[in-house]
Structure 1
Amino acid sequence: MTGTLPGASAVPLVRGPAGLLLDAIPDPCPVTTYIKSLDSAESRRTMRERLAHITALMITTPEGEAPPPPEQLAWWKLRFDHTQKIRAALRDQTRPDGDPWSPAYINQHIVAVRCTLRFCRRHGLMSADDHEAAADIEPVRGHREPTGRAVGADEFTKLLAACLTDDDNPTAGIRDAAMFALMHATGIRRSEIVSLRRSHYDAALRTLLIVGKGNKERTVYIHARAAQWINAWLALVPPGAGPLFRPVHWSGRIQDRPLKRSSINYRLQVRCAQAKVALLTPHDLRRTFISNFLAIGGDLPLAQRQAGHANIATTARYDRRDDTALQETVELLPLPTPADVHALAA
């Protein structure tokens, strides 16, 4: 069984209890209640996807058919032995390249099960004792080196230059350059880019009001050169309120709606190919900001504040400065030379 679970096997890896698959979605539905309780659209998508993976582990599906939705399972029928087998099956999953799933990825699935069981209990669908036993799932221990990379200065210059050489749609090129410069200079998330409004940008102070994860507001400060790109884009946008970044029709007409998150990934892929640089992701620009901020002596708590991380340890994991920088910094540490020590000992 590979990491692509839905429809990947006709035989489930976990034998669920009798009657686990329902004829229809129940009312109340603990999965629906749980997913709706999550504030972020990204979290709702992610955790439902994790529950769909687990559904594929437990339900026999004819080859070529998708498994039923997780909302159609009687999760309240799960007991301790079932959830332990789910944990063991998750631990054995591999990605398409054959590498095992990371502990963090497995633990996301475990959290999804625990939360669904909690809502089963809240809906009165299982007893307190049954809930306590079934939800007693230990997280998988382990560590993986951080993924992603920082973007070199030469690479990023080529990326912006590729945006400006878009003869077919120069308006889209200015927008892409402004968007990438902003992400590179502030570290804001892809989801935050698409939710930005013109009213959030203060050109005089070079600030942006961001509504980030957990519906938390923060103010980020924009590098003067990044602000020049934003101002160039806004000079092309029709006056009035609306999204800060918008789709551009092939004719060059700017549309009055926000970009989709997937559009940002696509624009980066296109511009990387045009610039002939290694593929990068929106999150790589976020990693690059934090790495560059720390490399010039920036304070880690300030980087955390700009990036909008709830935990400073998360910000530290985004540091992608290479081993050369680490080695150069180590060399700056005070340590007496052997000659100094011999001279003192003589």
Structure 2
Amino acid sequence: MDGESTQDPFEANLDGFRRYLAGERARSEHTIRAYLADVRSLLEFAALEGDKELPDLELGTLRRWLGAQSEAGVSRSTLARRAATARSFTKWALREELISVDPAIRLQAPKRDKALPGVLQQQQVNRAVSSLEDAAEDGNPLAVRNRAMVELLYATGIRVGELAGLDIDDLDPDRRTLRVIGKGNKERTVPFGVPAAVAVDDWLRRGRPAVVTAGSGPALFLGARGKRVDQRQVRSVVEEVLHALGDTAATGPHALRHSAATHLLDGGADLRAVQEILGHSSLATTQIYTHVSVERLRKSYQQAHPRA
């Protein structure tokens, strides 16, 4: 009897869903791990409820699964993600004829928490960049790299994974644009300004040649040993820079993405242009930054107007 026929049905369902997420949906490994953890939690809960086979899964079980997590203190944002995972899983199972009725089709997710993202003030960005310029003056290759990475993150609003995945050929210095591969392997072109162009050129002239090795390949940004920089290294650099400011609660590379989007809108950029730059599939995702801009405007008004 071969291994396929003796595989636990529970694990077989997870393996099938994994292949679907990786192959047809082109999800990242990080996203796949999160989806599978959610589905494993759901199926284990369902088994305790008596739904031991996939066709036994009912809407009531799904609702009680989410309810139990809510009582345990799980945030509304996480609950909404897990509800979306459940709907994706049962839709896949129906297509694969593992179930005859989709129990999650009427599953309602709780509304997400509407927390506004952390945004840097323009003078804070200027201070952060100045500190990086000072650190890079002596030509330390990693300091030169750090300046280029932060400048590029803020100039373009790209995600940290997109930055780490950049190759030298993705850079068009003459047109000052990047070719970026985003979520779902969607390609987009993103412009950047003169300060970022200068910082990246400095990295290519002084920094990268000092750490490049035969195994570096085409990666734009490298670590100390010449390998492609990873997301953890990028996050560490940005968090250190923001922590050194001492006057912001904004943390991590996403703070630079949020700041880039908000500053573009503050400067009069069209919402759809910002959507294209950020690589959002839905305009609704980009619209949160209009809320951020309005909130900043409201605070400025209250601080400045004598009858606010």
The farther-off stretch of 240-249 and 309-318 is 240-249
Partners of 1:167 and 1:328 in 2: CA distance: 36
Q: Give the whole-Å Cα distance in 2 for the aligned partners of 1:148 and 1:28.
A: 33
**2:69 aligns with one of 68, 90, 104:** 90
CA 1:27–1:211 in 2, change beyond 3 Å: closer, same or farther?
Answer: closer
Identify the range of structure 1 (137-146 vs 296-305) with the bigger mean alpha-carbon deviation. Answer: 137-146
Q: Moved runs in structure 1, 4+ residues, more than 6 A?
A: 166-169, 327-330
Counterpart in the other structure of 1:162? 131
> Higher mean Cα deviation, 171-180 or 29-38?
29-38
Task: Answer yes or no: is the 8 Å Cα contact 1:33–1:119 preserved in 2.
Answer: no
- The match for 2:33 is 45
The aligned counterpart of 1:293 is 264
Question: Which residue identity is paired with 1:119?
Answer: W
Provide the TM-score with structure 2 as the length reference. 0.79
- Aligned residue type for 2:295: D
Asked if structure 2 preserves the Cα contact closer than 8 Å seen for 1:150 and 1:321, the reply is no
The residue number in structure 2 matching 1:271 is 241
Residue in structure 2 matched with residue 247 of structure 1 by the alignment? 223
Distance 1:46 1:222, change over 3 A: same
Which protein shows a greater Rg? 1
Deviations 1:126-183 (A, max 9, x none): 3x1xx33x22342224352234211122222332233333799922111111111111
Contact 1:198 1:241 (C-alpha < 8 Å) held by counterparts: no
Report the number of matched residues. Answer: 281
For the Cα contact (< 8 Å) 1:51–1:112, is it kept in 2?
A: yes
Mapping of residues 285-324 of structure 1, within 5 Å:
285-319=256-290, 320-321=292-293, 323-324=295-296
1:261 corresponds to: 231
How far 1:295 sits from its partner (Å)? 0.8
2:91 paired residue among 106, 109, 118: 118
Query: What amino acid is the match of 1:224?
Result: V
| Structure 2 gap segments, 5+ residues each | 1-7, 303-308
Instruction: After superposition, give the CA deviation of every residue in 1:4-28 in whole Å (9 maximum; x if it has no partner).
Output: xxxxxxxxxxxxxxxxxx5873378
User: What stretches of structure 1 of length at least 5 have no aligned partner?
Assistant: 1-21, 61-72, 96-100, 250-254, 331-346
The AA in structure 2 aligned to 1:35 is L
1:43 to 1:23, Cα distance in 2 relative to 1, 3 A: closer
What do the CA deviations read for 1:41-86 (whole angstroms, capped 9, x no partner)?
Answer: 14323322333444565578xxxxxxxxxxxx85444233322322
* Amino acid in the other structure paired with 2:85: A
**Equivalent position SS for 2:293:** coil
Give me the whole-angstrom Cα distance separating, in 1, the residues matched to 2:91 and 2:288: 31
SS at 1:208's partner residue? strand
Root-mean-square deviation (Å): 3.1
Q: 1:216 to 1:58 in 2, by over 3 A?
A: same
CA–CA distance in 2 between the matches of 1:166 and 1:51?
47
Matched, 1:142 2:111: yes
- 1:114-263 alignment runs, 5 A limit: 114-126=87-99, 128=100, 131-132=101-102, 134-163=103-132, 164-165=134-135, 170-235=140-205, 236-238=207-209, 242-249=218-225, 255=226, 257-263=227-233
User: Of Structure 1 and Structure 2, which has the larger fraction of its residues in helix?
Assistant: 2
User: Using the alignment, how far apart are the partners of 1:24 and 1:168 within structure 2?
Assistant: 58
Q: 1:247 to 1:53 in 2, by over 3 A?
A: farther
Residue type at the aligned position of 1:49? A
Deviation at 1:273, TM superposition (A): 3.4
1:241 Cα deviation after fit? 5.5
Provide the C-alpha distance between the structure 1 equivalents of 2:224 and 2:244, rounded to a whole number of angstroms.
18
Residue identity opposite 2:243 in structure 1: A
Q: Distance in 2 between matches of 1:78 and 1:173?
A: 54
For the pair 1:282 / 2:261, whether they are aligned, the reply is: no
Structure-1 separation of matches of 2:9 and 2:283: 46
SS at match of 1:26: helix
Residues 92-133 of structure 1 show CA distances to partners (whole Å, capped at 9, x for unaligned) of 3415xxxxx12x42122112122222333333333x1xx33x
Q: Distance in 2 between matches of 1:56 and 1:246?
A: 42
1:203/1:166 CA distance change after superposition, 3 Å: closer
Say if 1:30 and 1:123, in contact at 8 Å, map to a contact too: no
Asked if structure 1 preserves the Cα contact closer than 8 Å seen for 2:84 and 2:109, the reply is no
- For the residue of structure 2 that corresponds to 1:209, the secondary structure is strand
In 1, Cα distance between the equivalents of 2:232 and 2:221?
A: 14
2-structure distance, mates of 1:59, 1:263 = 41
In the TM superposition, residue 247 of structure 1 has moved relative to its aligned partner by: 1.0
Q: 1:161 to 1:90 in 2, by over 3 A?
A: same
